[in-house]
Amino acid sequence: MTNLSRRTAAPGPAAEPAAEGAAHRPWGAAEAAELAADDITVDLISLGKQIRHLRKQRDMSLDDLGAAVGSAASQLSLIENGKKEPKLSMLRALARALGVSSDELLGAEPPNRRVALEIELERAQRSTQYQALGLPNVKPSGRTPTEILEALVGLHREVERQVNLHTATPEEARRANTELRRRMRDKDNYFGDIEAEARTLLGSVDYSGGPLSQHQIADLAAYLRFTLHHVDDLPHSTRSVTDLKHRRIYLTQVGTGSHDPRTVLLQALASHVLQHEVPRTYLEFLGQRVATNYLAAALLIPESSAVAFLRQSMKGKEVAVEDLRDNFAVSYEAAAHRFTNLATHHLGIRTHFQKVHKSGIIFKAYENDDVAFPADPTGAIEGQPICRFWTSRQVFDVPDKFNAFNQYTDTATGTYWCTARTERSADGLFSLSIGVPYESAKWFRGKETKARSVSKCPDPDCCRNPPRALADAWAGQVWPTARAASSQLAAMPLGSFPGVDETEVYQFLERHSKR
């Protein structure tokens, strides 16, 4: 199995019956078919090294082994060098000749440190990255000192680390977000394997309906064999820290911070349940974050209860995100995200979501209803200014902040009905909006709104270019100072977990592990 499949496999039953042996993969495994194929693919490099080691251990030459299995020495040489995959009959013959079982031959760990180094070096030299350099491959012989192999493997590891450090530039982050959004759209933002995982976990705490209580979440942590520890010195760059060695989850003191403590704990548990390992790319990091958020939301707003609630609302044509929020005691943003998970798959409603800063900049967005979000040349939406005539911008100017603001907007791709609210966070004031095509507005409370606007974007004269009269009066007479943060010009934070101070985390764990 490939490293990626090991990193993303989750325990518990999959959507298919367990008897079929279906592997449960969390959200984001777009290459699932390829990974499934890899599960039965022979690791030719490891196999070849294992055969060579066993042959030499028995003082057999290639000719000797060839005579034993009825094959030419040249063919065996290709197998030992990982350049030819042997047939099943040949594998069995080789195993018999070498005095091991076929399973042992295929599944054996490297017999010693030197063979492990040879395997790692061979894999590194076959990588696309190394091949692109046009450098010759080093073929270690029995006379090659082990320290030479150590040095070569160490150099390859450092090159890979340096490459990974420089992949999380702002451009790479935008591309990763674009790819992530494509995968979400392909699935209508509904991931049945994570929903199945959530059902299993809810069953372990006898969930029957309504909001998931903090007591049930604590029971869930105990079911997963974790103890909870609330501290006042949690590293400033973290929301929680999980000590896997002692199976402890450290959280900040209850009642502090801007995040729902239930969500923070569930996200920490989700990373464990989904068997996440240290991400190797920024895309993998984002995928893991979305997967943990999805599982946490599926626990806080369980699928069965939420769908029953939404279908009942549809009967009365009174669907409202704020009702979903209130019924499950979550934030409006959490309810809006969860609505996008369930709306298309269960209700047949295509939709879009936006989180927009008061400045007009998109922080988060999702769509499967063909609404035309602004995008940069990489396809990224995040960081782009939204049209000032859209509901997500208009809501900032509405005096009534208690009720949701609803509006129809005519756009280049059709007319959309949207509902929006504003919420304040540590980063400022944001609007959170859910929108649907005009024909789906009939299912929602607020469909009778008279508010309507017209957006001509991406036409620059819609809202990008200033009105001609103002431009004539002020063009060339002003020099504003941009409020852009310096972080916009820098690479993404480095480290195994972007944005997390690893030294601080390790020091924290060292202190608390002795208590």
Q: Name the average pLDDT for the chain.
A: 82
pLDDT value at 13 more than 60: no
**Whose CA is closest to 239, among 253, 226, 225, 227?**
253
Average pLDDT of the segment spanning 431-436: 96
Higher pLDDT, 430 or 210: 430
> What order do you get walking across the sheet with 414-425 strand by strand?
362-367, 352-357, 428-437, 414-425, 405-411, 452-454
pLDDT value at 495 more than 60: no
SS (H, E, C) 31-89: CHHHHHHHCCCCCHHHHHHHHHHHHHHCCCCHHHHHHHHCCCHHHHHHHHCCCCCCCHH
Q: Tell me how far apart the alpha carbons of residues 106 and 340 are, in angstroms, rounded to a whole number.
A: 45
Coil vs helix vs strand at 367: strand
Higher pLDDT, 14 or 206: 206
pLDDT value at 30 more than 60: no
8 A C-beta contact, residue 35 and residue 29: yes
Label residue 255 by pLDDT band (50, 70, 90). Answer: low
What is the signed CA dihedral for 174, 179, 181, 182, rounded to 10 degrees? 140
**pLDDT value of residue 444:** 97
Peptide bond just before 498 cis, omega within 30 deg = no
Which residues have a Cβ under 8 Å from the Cβ of 498 and sit 6 or more positions away? 168, 282, 285, 492
Q: pTM score, two decimals?
A: 0.65
**pLDDT value of residue 477:** 76
Average pLDDT of the segment spanning 309-327: 96
Label residue 157 by pLDDT band (50, 70, 90). Answer: confident
**pLDDT value of residue 39:** 39
pLDDT value at 239 more than 80: yes
For residue 405, with 0-12 CB atoms within 10 Å meaning exposed, 13-18 middle and 19 or more buried, which class applies? Answer: buried
8 A C-beta contact, residue 270 and residue 161: no
**pLDDT value of residue 166:** 52
8 A C-beta contact, residue 420 and residue 392: yes
**pLDDT value of residue 31:** 34
Model confidence pLDDT, tens digit, residues 463-487? 878 888 887 887 777 777 655 544 4
Q: Which helix (H) or strand (E) holds 303?
A: helix 303-315
| Percent of the residues in the chain that have a pLDDT greater than 90, as a whole number | 45
Amino acid type, 513: S
**pLDDT value of residue 88:** 84
pLDDT value at 90 more than 70: yes
Q: Which helix (H) or strand (E) holds 405?
A: strand 405-411
**pLDDT value of residue 21:** 37
Label residue 140 by pLDDT band (50, 70, 90). Answer: confident
8 A C-beta contact, residue 3 and residue 279: no
Task: Look up residue 506 and give its two tokens.
Answer: 């390790």
Label residue 278 by pLDDT band (50, 70, 90). Answer: confident
Higher pLDDT, 470 or 348: 348
Average pLDDT of the segment spanning 279-289: 86
Which range has the top average pLDDT, 122-136, 183-197, 481-495?
Answer: 183-197
pLDDT value at 199 more than 60: yes
pLDDT value at 60 more than 50: yes
> Would you give the DSSP letter of residue 491?
P
Torsion sign over Cα 496, 288, 264, 383: positive
**pLDDT value of residue 378:** 77
Q: What are the angstrom distances between the C-alpha of 382 and each of 178, 179, 180, 271?
A: 9, 12, 12, 25
Q: Which helix (H) or strand (E) holds 260?
A: none
Label residue 24 by pLDDT band (50, 70, 90). Answer: very low
Average pLDDT of the segment spanning 182-201: 94
Higher pLDDT, 56 or 320: 320
pLDDT value at 36 more than 70: no
Average pLDDT of the segment spanning 62-80: 91
| Percent of the residues in the chain that have a pLDDT greater than 70, as a whole number | 84
**pLDDT value of residue 258:** 57
Label residue 167 by pLDDT band (50, 70, 90). Answer: low
**pLDDT value of residue 107:** 65
Burial 487-503 (b: 16+ CB within 10 A, else e): eeeebbeebebbeebee
Label residue 492 by pLDDT band (50, 70, 90). Answer: very low
Q: Tell me how far apart the alpha carbons of residues 91 and 34 are, in angstroms, rounded to a whole number.
A: 24
